[in-house]
Each structure stands twice: as structure tokens, then as C-alpha cells.
Amino acid sequence: MTPRDPDLTFEALRDAHVAALTGSLIDGVEHGPGGAGYVWSRSIPDPTLNFAFGVHRPDQFAWAGAAALGRARAPAFLARDDAEVALLRDLFEPAALYPASWMVAWPRPSSSAAGGAITVQAAPAPGPDFERVFAHLSDDPGVRTHLRRFYIPALRAARSRTGLAPLHLVLRDATGPAACASLYLRGDRAGLYNVSTRADRQRRGLGTAVTVAALREARARGAIQVFLQCPAGGAVEALYVRAGFRTVCAPTLLCTSPP
């Protein structure tokens, strides 16, 4: 870290995350009593994009529940740490808990080149090659249907926002578009999202390669810090560790009903 590094607190990274995705996957934030808030997506029902934060008291809990139900969403609550998890457990018994890793990397100008041809599109919405990867990131038909029904339309409808520079990367190998990622740059900080590899091209290092390419592109565009969010533990987090990320926050998403 250096004195110029952007703030790494939970609140700063949460706000940076919301700012990065507002206008594409996220539609807005409602503000409630005592600093509580509710992040919502008009088109995507998943609790990862529809959640309350800063909820510690019964009145905040009631407000957040009403905010969710008013948008036809099952209430979900993001706890910054174990202490907030305990406070929320005093208010309700969660049906599901999802620990997350919020990670940060400091890209260097000398980042190694990606193992394939990379194209970069500077536009709010990604192009057809990006969709050819993203829509096939799983061999589960249910997952692919969910992506086509909710995520692809939301990405296609993304709109420009002042001060935010979206970039969509596609890595091609001998078979065609094989991996993709999105960067959302604001000042000297960038958010990394949508890192995906086609199901028929996985376990070949392409996810790591497109992540490294994204870090290199972020640095070239003036970012000194790149952040992301992923499930805690497992292969996805390990991929990001290999690319140079480290965990700086470990929040938990508490759901009132199974997603």
C-alpha cells in the first residue's frame, strides 16, 4: 500500500462496488434509518444484487424488509463481519449464509501478457463475442437459462454514467471467444466483474489469463487498485490469488429464503 491507495474499508469498497455496477446490473440504492441502505436491481432477482446493509436494529430490519418486499425481492442482508452477523441473527434466523471475499490487487506495469489474443471494448454494454462466452460459462442448463433471462438483458441495456469508464475484455484462443471480463474504472480505482470462461474451455488457465490482462489494462488506464468480490474459499478465490489479489474484507450475505 502507498499513501495514494484508495480506502480499503468495507464501506468504501461497498460504495465503490455499487457505483461500478449502477446503470448495468444495479439500478440504485435506497437510504433508510440510521445509515441503513438497500441496494436493488430492477431486472435481476438474485440476493447478491438486492440486499440491505448497515442493519443492526429492529426498526432498520423492518425498513429493509419493506424495501425488499416492495420490489418483490426476498429480504437479504449484507453483514460486514462476524459481529454484524451476530446482530442480524438476533433479528431473524437466516435460511442461507454466503461468506464472501472482497479482494484487491495493485497492478504493475510489468504484468505478463495474456495467453491468447485480447480485444478490449470501451462501451457501456459488451458485444456479441463477450456474450458468447458469458452465456456459456456453465454446462448447467438452468444456469445458462438464468443468465440469458436476467443477466444478458441487463448487460445489453447498460447505460453510460458520468465519471465511469466501462471496458469489456474478450480472450480468444484457437476455437474463438473463450474467456471474458469487465472493468469499471472510476478515477484511480477499478472494479473487476464478469470474469468467465466458456464451459468447454475451462481448466486451461484462461480465467487467470483474462484476469491478468484486465489488471494490465486497468494499470494502462491509470488505475492503481483493482477490487472484486467472489465466494469465499474454493477455486474462484484461488484463481484470483494466483493473479495477485488478496482478501481485505470478509462479509457475509444472510438470506431470509434460499436463493
Quote the pLDDT of residue 109.
72
User: What pLDDT is attached to residue 6?
Assistant: 61
Least Cα distance to 32 among 51, 10, 12, 13 occurs for: 51
115 — pLDDT class (breaks 50, 70, 90): low
Residue 2 pLDDT class (50, 70, 90 cuts): very low
How large is the average pLDDT for residues 224-252?
95
Integer Cα distance of 169 and 164 in angstroms: 16
pLDDT, averaged across the chain? 94
SS3 readout for 118-146: EEEEECCCCCHHHHHHHCCCCCCHHHHHH
C-alpha cell at 215: 489488471
Tens-place pLDDT, residues 26-58: 999 999 999 999 999 999 999 999 999 999 999
Average pLDDT over residues 4-13: 81
First-residue to last-residue Cα distance in the chain: 37
* The total number of residues written for the chain in this structure: 259
Q: Is the pLDDT of residue 112 over 70?
A: no
Q: Compute the average pLDDT of residues 158-187.
A: 96
Q: Is the pLDDT of residue 113 over 80?
A: no
pLDDT attached to residue 56: 96
Model pTM score = 0.93
Type of residue found at 164: L
Instruction: List, in sequence order, every residue forming a beta bridge with 215; answer none if it has no partner.
Output: none
CA dist., res. 193 & res. 183, Å (int): 6
Nearest partner of 158 among 170, 147, 145, 168, judged by Cα: 168
What is the rounded average pLDDT of the residues 193-222? 96
